[in-house]
Amino acid sequence: MNNQDKNNIEDLREEFRKEYYQTPKLSYEETDGTTRADINLIADWWLNKMKEQEVKVRERIIEELAELEHEQWIEWSKNISKTEGAISLERLGRWQKLWRPYAELTDEEKEQDRKWARKVIEIIKGRVEVIK
């Protein structure tokens, strides 16, 4: 877990404290001053926030991989354009328009790289233990 993820968890804890203490208490089956409804509320809130955090982390990883994919494609396409004589001027023109940083691409152009990033994640997903 990197520092950003640790900070995000601390932010979630603080957000929970603020939201939980502003929520009206539900009370039944008191146990040590905390009700089961309170415990369920806490658990539901925490699970929802953790799911949201997982989605944010996954999206960040997809973007990082997509940017890397774009950089790799630029290197590959530039190399091919120099070494292969059979590339049409039309294709070369399309490629050259995309020879710019990932951040400058349209969302539609970025989505092409995200598709490959998602494929990488699917391959890695079942093999995390092996990578460790």
pLDDT at 33: 57
Q: Cα 45 to chain center, whole Å?
A: 21
Under 8 Å between Cβ of 77 and 95: yes
Nearest to 53 by CA among 123, 103, 125, 4: 4
The pair of three-digit structure tokens given for residue 65, joined into one six-digit string: 């991989």
| Residue 29: pLDDT over 70 | no
| Residue 45: pLDDT over 90 | no
pLDDT digits (tens, 9 = 90+) for 67-83: 999 999 999 999 999 88
| Residue 36: pLDDT over 70 | no
Q: Is 84 helix (H, G, I), strand (E, B) or coil?
A: coil
pLDDT-derived band of residue 5, with 50, 70 and 90 as boundaries? low
Considering the entire predicted model, what is its pTM?
0.64
Domain ranges of the chain: 3-131
Helix (H) or strand (E) run with residue 31 in it: none
The pair of three-digit structure tokens given for residue 25, joined into one six-digit string: 């208490």
